[in-house]
Homo-oligomer: A and B are copies of this chain.
Amino acid sequence: MSLLPFDPPRRLLLGPGPSDCHPRVLRAMSAPLLGHLDPAFTGLMNQLQDMLRQAYRTKNPLTMAISATGMAGMECCLVNLLEEGDKIVVCAAGHFGQRMIEVAGRARAVVTALQAPWGSVFDLNVIRETLGKVRPKVLGIVHAETSTGARQPLEELGKLCKEFDTLLVVDAVTSLGCIELELDRFGIDAVYSCTQKGLSCPPGLSPISFSEKAADVLRTRKSPVQSWYLDLTLLMKYWGQDRFYHHTAPITMNYALHEGLRIVLEEGMENRWKRHKLHHEALKAGLSELGLAYATEASAILPQLNAILIPSGLEDLPVRKAMLEDFGIEIGAGLGDFKGKIWRIGLMGYNCRKDIVFTVLGALGSVLKRQGWKKDPGAALAAADKFYQGSGASA
A contacts, CB < 8 Å to B? 1-3, 5-11, 13, 15, 17-21, 26-36, 38, 40-41, 44, 47, 50-51, 54, 67-72, 75, 99, 102-103, 105-107, 194, 196, 202-204, 224-229, 245-253, 255-256, 258-259, 262, 265-266, 324, 330, 335
- A2 CA / B262 CA spacing, docked (Å): 9
CA distance A204 to B254 in the complex (A): 10
Contact partner, A203, options B2, B50, B70, B251, Cβ 8 Å: B251
Q: Is the CB of B3 within 8 A of A28?
A: no
Establish whether residues B70 and A67, one from each chain, have CB atoms under 8 Å apart when the complex forms: no
Contact B34 A247 (CB under 8 A): no
Instruction: Tell me, rounded to whole Å, the shortest Cβ–Cβ distance linking A157 to chain B.
Output: 25
Among B41, B202, B247, which residue has its beta carbon within 8 angstroms of that of A251?
B202
> In the complex, A381 Cα to B105 Cα: how many Å?
60
Q: Which residues of B contact A28 (CB under 8 A)?
A: 5-6
Alpha-carbon distance A44/B7, docked complex (angstroms): 10
- A228 near B71: Cβ-Cβ < 8 Å: yes
Across the interface, do A106 and B18 meet the contact criterion of CB distance under 8 Å?
Answer: no
Q: In the complex, which residues of chain B have a beta carbon less than 8 angstroms from the beta carbon of A256?
A: 252
Of all chain B residues, the one with the shortest Cβ separation from A14 is B35
Determine the chain B residues whose CB is within 8 A of the CB of A69 once the complex forms. Answer: 67, 247-250
A–B Cβ pairs within 8 angstroms, 8 of them: A2-B47, A5-B262, A10-B32, A11-B32, A18-B35, A70-B248, A106-B228, A250-B253
Interface of A is mostly: loop
* Contact between chains at B225 and A106 (CB < 8 Å): yes
Across-interface contacts of A67 in B (CB, < 8 A): 68-69, 72, 204
Question: Chain B residues near A32 (CB, 8 Å)?
Answer: 8, 10-11, 20-21, 26
Given A47-B2, A228-B102, A266-B3, A196-B30 contact (CB < 8 Å): no
- With A29-B30, A249-B203, A251-B203 already in contact, the answer to whether A1 and B51 are too (CB < 8 A) is yes
Contacts of A248 in B (CB 8 A): 17-18, 69-71, 194, 196, 203
Do B229 and A75 touch (CB < 8 A)?
Answer: yes
A294 to chain B, nearest CB (A): 22
Asked if residues B227 and A6 are in contact (CB atoms below 8 Å), the reply is no
Given contacts A33-B196, A224-B106, contact A47 B11 (CB under 8 A): no
Distance A41 CA – B68 CA, assembled complex (angstroms): 19
Partner of A20, one of B2, B26, B33, B266: B33
- Nearest CB of chain B from residue A46's CB, rounded to whole Å: 10
Q: Which residues of B contact A10 (CB under 8 A)?
A: 32
Among A7, A36, A194, which residue has the most Cβ atoms of chain B within 10 A?
Answer: A36
Whose C-beta in chain B lies nearest to the C-beta of A15? Answer: B35
Q: How far, in whole Å, are A268 and B9 apart by their CA atoms in the complex?
A: 29
B229-A5 in contact (CB<8A): no
A126 nearest CB across to chain B (Å): 27
Report the minimum CB–CB distance from A86 to chain B (whole Å).
Answer: 15
A338 to B353: give the CA distance in the assembly, Å. 55
Question: A-B pairs with the 7 shortest C-beta distances?
Answer: A204-B250, A68-B68, A202-B252, A71-B247, A203-B248, A72-B229, A103-B228
Which B residues are CB-close (under 8 A) to A106?
Answer: 224-228
